[in-house]
Amino acid sequence: MLIKNCRTHIRMIGVLVMMLGAVAILPSQQAKPPGSLTLSQAVDAALRNYPSIQVSQEQINAAAAGIELARAAYLPRIDALAQINRATRNNVFGLLLPQSVIPSLSGPVLGSNNFGTVWGSAIGTLVTWEPFDFGLRRANVAAATAAQTRSEAGLERTRYDVAVAAADSYLTLVAAQEIIRGAQAGVDRAQVILQTITALVKAELRPGADISRAEAELAAVQTQLIQAQQAYEISRANLSRFIGLDPKQIGTSATKLLQLPPPQIPVPLDVTANPIAREQNAVIEQLRSQLKGIQRSYFPRFFLQGSAYARGTGAEINGDRLGGLNGLAPNTQNYALGFTVTFPVMDFVSIRAQKAGQSARIRGETARHQQIATDLKAQWNTADATLQGARRIAANTPVQVTATRAAVDQATARYRSGLGNIDSVAESQRLLTQAEIDDALARLGVWRALLAVAQATGDIQPFLAEASNDF
């Protein structure tokens, strides 16, 4: 009996040595793709390649062209005209209201009505300049400048949103990679347990049903690994749309992100520094500039004008026609200088309505600015609370891992000595896999909370510098 027990213990020791040797030769981590990126590199690539940034840049270019267009109103207007025609020369007395259908006809009434035609020609230049305008053009230039400022704020907001989204996608990819690492470790342990149980069953030290239980446990963790790999590929595809690389070319270099960041004092919130608030403030300033333009529009318009022109006709005053090519060359000259004043008397009704509508839009956007400030404050408070909780969780998960590993060792020892069953070993293995994943994700959770705090403050560059500092 004593010899039999010794043989049994020798077999179990041999199985245990085989199990430890198998664990020792397991790969510790996945090979990185050749194009591994740090967090800062991923964000920089997104800022270079994401199309929405180019859209915002072109909006700035369009706004700059709008400023030049508004400034062009200060220049004189010069209109040149040249014309030839072949037409009848019948004319009548009487008034004709302003319209754009019937061509105008000059000259005396000849008392005839026939369809004989003559050549006519004209060439001339009209110069118009508005010497003063009660600030209308200046207000229009200011409105165009405010539109450019708004576009620049929009570009800054877009770059901010893209940077935050790219950083968040990168953290998600790192988290997916850590889940794969934890799931792979679970698969490796399940395979070792299966090998151990198979050896024990062959040695008739355990029932054959334990092999089926171990195989089921291995299949379960393999499914978990496949799901983790699927999440990893999805995360790579999501990051690829920001940085412009094929998903298979994307890898991470995130040594610092796998460590717990040192405690930091959160930067106090300054709502006015956030790109979202700055963009909204630019919207308000643009509307106010447009309102000033509307207010300057109900004034007289003064135009200094000068014209020089010449006309030619093949018709005589007595009704005769000169025939041939007479009239094709302008041979009668005139010039004129004048000062014209126009005033849209009844436009005050429409202008008053425009002012009321613009004022309402200003009040609405001002209220929106206040709402943004409130939301950013709540976002910052939430991010700060999340950060504090994430740090406490990250401090607790190592305790969970240590305790779970001890539980695995105890369950394995009990199973080896015949005092435990396969269910306790499988359960402890599952708990260890989950604890290791939770521990890795807890550290990343702190980094993600720091990103949320930086996002609320409106500047993630300090976060990127800290997260990408690998030495």
Sequential DSSP letters for 340-365: EEE--GGGHHHHHHHHHHHHHHHHHH
End-to-end CA distance of the chain: 61
- What residues form DSSP beta bridges with 79? 126
Q: Where are the beta strands (DSSP E) in 75-140?
A: 77-88, 117-129
Give the residue, 151 or 10, on which the prediction is more confident. Answer: 151
Q: What are the residue ranges spanned by the domains of the chain?
A: 8-19+33-75+145-299+346-467, 76-131+300-342
Above 60 in pLDDT, residue 26?
A: no
Place of tokens 């001339």: 124
What's the rounded Cα separation, in Å, for the pair 433 and 426?
A: 11
Confidence band of 1 (pLDDT split at 50, 70, 90): very low
For residue 241, give both structure tokens: 């749309």
- What residues form DSSP beta bridges with 308? 125, 335
Dump pLDDT digits (tens) for 450-464: 999 999 998 888 888
What's the rounded Cα separation, in Å, for the pair 453 and 264?
A: 11
What's the rounded Cα separation, in Å, for the pair 212 and 218?
A: 10
| Superfamily in which the 8-19+33-75+145-299+346-467 domain is placed by CATH | Outer membrane efflux proteins (OEP) (1.20.1600.10)
* Stretch 313-324: mean pLDDT: 82
Q: Taking a C-beta distance cutoff of 8 angstroms, is the pair 197, 421 a contact?
A: no
The candidate with the shortest Cα–Cα distance to 274, out of 383, 175, 188, is: 383
pLDDT score, position 423: 76
Q: What angle do CA 420, 422, 424 make, to 5 degrees?
A: 65
- Write phi, then psi, for 251 (nearest 5 degrees): -140, 170
The candidate with the shortest Cα–Cα distance to 251, out of 240, 259, 260, 242, is: 240
Which amino acid is residue 425, in one-letter code? V
Confidence band of 205 (pLDDT split at 50, 70, 90): low
Largest separation between any pair of C-alpha atoms in the chain: 150
Dump pLDDT digits (tens) for 269-314: 888 889 999 999 999 999 999 999 999 988 999 999 999 999 998 8
Can you give the pTM of this predicted structure?
0.77
Tally Cβ neighbours within 10 Å of residue 395: 12
pLDDT score, position 450: 92
Q: How many CA atoms lie within 13 A of 121 on its CB side?
A: 15
Which amino acid is residue 369, in one-letter code? H
Name the helix (H) or strand (E) containing 286: helix 275-295
Above 70 in pLDDT, residue 427?
A: yes
Q: What is the b/e burial string over 232-271, where b = at least 16 CB atoms within 10 angstroms of the residue's CB? A: beebbebbbbbbebebeebbbbbebbeeebeeeeebebeb
Which amino acid is residue 295, in one-letter code? Q
